[in-house]
Structures are given as structure tokens and as C-alpha cells.
Structure 1
Amino acid sequence: MSAIDNELVNRTAPPGSMRYFSLLYSPEERREVVLALYVIDAEIRESAKSASHDVAHTRLTWWRAETDRLINGNPQHPATRLLHERASGDRAVFAKLHEMLAAADMDLARMTFTNQQELRAYCSRSGGAIQELIASQLVAPGALDEAVRAAANKLGVGIRMTEVVRDLRQDAYDGNVYLPLDLLDKHELKTEHLRAREVDSKLKDALRVVRETAIAELALPSRGSQTEHLRPVFVLAALHRKLLDRIAARNYDVATERIELGPLQKPWTAWLAARKA
């Protein structure tokens, strides 16, 4: 599928994964560039999850320097080298990777969020920035128009919020509490509720609030001159909307297992979304 090492590809978008279907519906001439961006996103996120804080800090520092090398035309990583060779438009657009690195710093610091606005700002950096970059390459060599840029970021916010709901218990075990503190206080929840093997009814109410917010973020934008290029982003957003439906149907039981879409749901949902795009 790509000049990028197969191990990196399989860690980033293994066959059958939601990102796999996003890539499947990417234009063939843009697919490797989209994959490279997904690889970088995965590498940055994994860096923040390193068992050693010092190792994580070192890796994120390297990625900051690598981002600057990419912008200046001398990258080292296989994914950034591919972007250097095949990406279209001004390389300065890749400064957006610094937003993703800022979100990774927040993950590493185990930062908490006071309210939904702060959570959304984090999701805009963590999930929105990567979808902005993908959108910029899908419309290249033309410039990304502001309304489409904002729409791509908004979908990325919804995608990241969906992950927050799905991965609640594992994130809490890792020391990351993404649910806003005012929401936890309102529902009289403590960190131990997030780590419990059963999801308390009060926690289900809190998760329902985040799910509803995520659904609003995942609403597709009105059609415009550039939106027809965003099929891979729309496919990924549709898969996450369907995942939110499945989580709700499972009564928010995100503690006993990692809820996923079934092997038939993913290709069918992706195909429908691609057809409507």
C-alpha cells in the first residue's frame, strides 16, 4: 500500500480499522500522504504514552524538531520524508503539527479540564488538527478555504470526543481524566468511578452528555466547492458517529470491554458515507 514501513502502517491503520476505511476511500494519488499524516499522529500520541516520562519528553522534543525539519525541507522520519516528497502546497501548513504536539504535552502532564470548553479546545488540537492537515492535502494544490478548514477541525473534535467516551476506563488507569471537572462534580463522580469494573448510573449520565456533544460536532457541513474532496474525513466521521450509537445501545458499558463496530458495520457504514460524500 505504501513506501512507509509495513509495521508503521499496521500500527496506524490495520486492516479493518476505522482509519483503514478512511484510507480506502482516499483518492489514490493522495492516499500515501493521508497515511503519512495518520502515521505521524499515531507516533506523536504513542510518544506521550511512553512508560517513562523522560522517554516521552525526549520523543516529543524530537518530534518538535522533526516538524521544523519538515517545514524547512530536511525531514528524517519515513512519514515526514514522504510528505516532503509528495505533499502539495506550502510546507508551512505542517506547522499545524505543533498543535498536535501541544495536545500530547497535555496528555503527558495528565492535564484535567475544568469544563466542556477546555475539553473541546484540547480535542481541537488532538483530533481537529490532523483532520485539518488531511483536508489541506485533499484540496491541494488549491488553498483550504476557511469554512472547510473549520468543518474539518470540528469533525476531528467529534472523533476525539468519541475516543474519550470509548476509552474512558483505560485512560483513567493510565492517569488521564478527560471528562470535565464540572461534569464530574455535577454527577458526584470521582476518579475511582472511572476506573471501576462496572459503569455507575451517574457515570452513564455524564457519558451521555459527552456523547451528545460529540454527535453535534460530527454533523457534516453543508456542501460547498471543496467539501467533495473530503470523502476520507467524512467516512471517518461517519464511523465514529456509528460507534457512538453502538456505545449508547450497549448502555455505555465501556468498562468491561473496548466497544467496537462489528466487521460488517464498518465497511457498510464507510460505503454509505463515501457514497453520500
Structure 2
Amino acid sequence: MLQFSVFRAHLTHSRARLLSPQANPVNFDEYCQQKAAPPGSSTYYALRQAPVARQPLLTALFALRREFEETVKETTDPTIGRTKLAWWQKEAAALAAGEPTHPVSQALAAHLPDVQAEYPALQGIIAGFEMDLDQARYLDYPNLRRYMAGVGGTFASVVARATAHEPSQAASWAAPLGEALMLAQIVVELGNDARHGRIYIPIDEMQRFNVTAADLINRKYTDAFTEMMRFQTARARDAIRKALDALPVGERHSQSTLRALAALALALLDEIERDGYHVLHQRIALTPIRKLWVAWRAARKH
């Protein structure tokens, strides 16, 4: 009963935040909040589980990732995408040199204790997203993992180091979780990605299940598609659970945001499975109240 009362109080507070007007002009923290975690999003509730003092830094990191993602996935001309990513490479260097110009970079300069130490990781994340401009398909799982390592694993490592008790060890257990979260995202975004010409399910796996790219683009649901999605969902779920089990006991509390994201991904995979994997014509999502409950409960689970 006490636990539910605390949760209800947390819900009331969240509703107040959702309804409160922005009284001040937009600054870099507000920009990052709007970019990375709009109210009602999974990231919004996951970030609320982090220590208050660390939320601005984590929000800025997720905002940076969102900037990279928009650059490659919402740009139809690869040449323009490369130009924008090249600009971000220069901006990352400017950030490391203490001369940021973009609101997200300015937020990181204000909140990231050692910007220069994370500079190589930021370059690695950009390189990961650059792969989206070079290829829209992956031959097999090892090739896909190269992409997931940069976009998911390296990013999760940076996020983990922001709150870890032993940051130097974070990559060993955070990177697998970041890659696992990417596997879940591939399942969730399959239809939308296919409509934009990107298919992240490896070619050899699609051939194994006798599913074609045209099937995905044309939103064709078949028994073969269901079997393929059952495999993809099971792999993502198993990878997330394995990565969570590998989290050091001493770091579980410090990683409340990543654990909340993992719990939200697992809940969404369950929802997609219950819906029969109908992800080609719609984006299945959890309700905001369920997101809040799942994230809140996951952050307090030991």
C-alpha cells in the first residue's frame, strides 16, 4: 500500500510537470529536454528515475544522440546527411576544445565533468550513425553488430559512465545493454524504417525465413513474417535480460535510467508479441501511465 502511495505521489508530480507552462526563455537545458525527452516519451520517464543532479547531463546526452539520429534518418539526400554529420564532427571537436556553439554541446560543456575524456566516444557514436548513410541493409548479424556497437553500445557506455560508481569499468557491462536495446528498437521501428528505405534485419536471416524487403515495404503479413518476428523479438528480449543480469550489483542503483529503458523495451516487446507483430503499418506503443509505472518500478528493483 505504501509503495502505491509513493507511486501515486510521483504520478501527481509528473502530471504537474506535464501541465506547467515554460515560464523562462528556452535555454540549452530546455532545448535538450524538448529534443530528447518530450513529455510522455519513454526517455522522459526513464530520465526521471536518475538522480536529480544528473538529469541535465543525461538529458543532454540523449539529446545529442537524437540530433545524430535525425541527421541521418530524416535526411533524404545522403550528401546533405554527410555534410551535417561532418559539422557535428567539428562541433564535437569544438566541445572538446571548450568552444561549443550548439545548445546540446553547450549543455554538455556545462554538465559533463571531463569532456575531453568522452571525445573519442562521441566520435565513435557519430561514426556509427554515419553507417546509416553508407548502407541501408546488413548482410548478416556480425555486420549488424558493428552498427549496433557504435550507435547503441558506445552510447550506453557514455550514459553509464555519467552515473557509475566505477566509470572505468562501465563499458564492459553497459555496451551489451546498449546493443540489446538497439535490437528491441529494430523490432519496434521495423515498419517505419522500411518505409524510409532502411531494413536492419540481416539479409541472411530474412532469406532463412523466406521474407523479402518488398514484403516489409508493402506491409505484407504472412506466417513467415510472424516466425521471423518471433525470432527477432526473442533475441532482443534475451539480450536485454542477459545484459541486465550482467550489471554489477554495486552499479544497479546507479543505472536507474538504463534499467528503466530496458524494462520499457521488454514491456513493449511483450505488447508487440501480444498484438501479433503487426508493426509494419503502425507503431505500437505503451500508454504514458504504463511507461511511468514500468520505469518507476524498474528503477526501484534490486
Quote the Cα distance in structure 1 between the aligned partners of 2:247 and 2:176: 13
The reply on whether 1:80 has 2:105 as its aligned counterpart is yes
Question: How far has the Cα of 1:6 moved from its partner?
Answer: 4.0
Aligned-partner residue type, residue 167 of structure 2:
L
Task: Report if the CA contact (8 A) 1:110-1:175 is conserved.
Answer: no
Q: Deviations over 1:74-118 (max 9, x none)?
A: 222111122112212462223212222122111122342222222
Cα gap change, 1:222 to 1:167, in 2 (>3 Å): closer
Task: Report if the CA contact (8 A) 2:57-2:108 is conserved.
Answer: yes
Aligned-partner residue type, residue 287 of structure 2:
G
Residue in 2 that maps onto 1:28: 52
Question: How far has the Cα of 1:8 moved from its partner?
Answer: 4.7
Taking the TM superposition and a 5 Å limit, the aligned residue runs for 1:121-270 are: 121-139=146-164, 143-146=166-169, 148-219=170-241, 220=244, 221-270=246-295
Residue in 2 that maps onto 1:44: 68
Task: Report if the CA contact (8 A) 1:34-1:134 is conserved.
Answer: yes
SS in 1 for 2:59: helix
Match of 2:296 among 253, 271, 276: 271
Quote the Cα distance in structure 1 between the aligned partners of 2:221 and 2:131: 26
Question: How far has the Cα of 1:214 moved from its partner?
Answer: 1.1
Taking the TM superposition and a 5 Å limit, the aligned residue runs for 1:104-123 are: 104-123=129-148
Quote the Cα distance in structure 1 between the aligned partners of 2:124 and 2:101: 20
Match of 2:41 among 1, 14, 17: 17
Taking the TM superposition and a 5 Å limit, the aligned residue runs for 1:56-75 are: 56-75=81-100
Quote the Cα distance in structure 2 between the aligned partners of 1:83 and 1:152: 20
User: Whose helix fraction is larger, Structure 1's or Structure 2's?
Assistant: 2
SS in 1 for 2:211: coil
SS in 2 for 1:30: helix
Question: How far has the Cα of 1:247 moved from its partner?
Answer: 0.7
Identity of aligned residues (%): 28
Q: Deviations over 1:119-173 (max 9, x none)?
A: 222112112222111111112xx65143x32221111112111111111122112
Aligned-partner residue type, residue 236 of structure 1:
L
Cα gap change, 1:167 to 1:187, in 2 (>3 Å): same
Quote the Cα distance in structure 2 between the aligned partners of 1:223 and 1:64: 33
What residue ranges of structure 2 are gaps of 5+ in the alignment? 1-16, 18-25
Question: How far has the Cα of 1:52 moved from its partner?
Answer: 2.5
TM-score normalised per structure 1? 0.92
Residue in 1 that maps onto 2:127: 102
RMSD between aligned residues: 1.9
Task: Report if the CA contact (8 A) 1:68-1:95 is conserved.
Answer: no
Task: Report if the CA contact (8 A) 1:243-1:260 is conserved.
Answer: yes
Residue in 1 that maps onto 2:21: none
SS in 1 for 2:199: coil
Aligned-partner residue type, residue 118 of structure 1:
N
Cα gap change, 1:110 to 1:84, in 2 (>3 Å): same
Q: How many residues of Structure 1 are paired with residues of Structure 2 in the alignment?
A: 274
Cα gap change, 1:91 to 1:227, in 2 (>3 Å): farther
Cα gap change, 1:85 to 1:7, in 2 (>3 Å): closer
Quote the Cα distance in structure 2 between the aligned partners of 1:222 and 1:68: 32
SS in 1 for 2:122: helix
Task: Report if the CA contact (8 A) 1:198-1:253 is conserved.
Answer: no
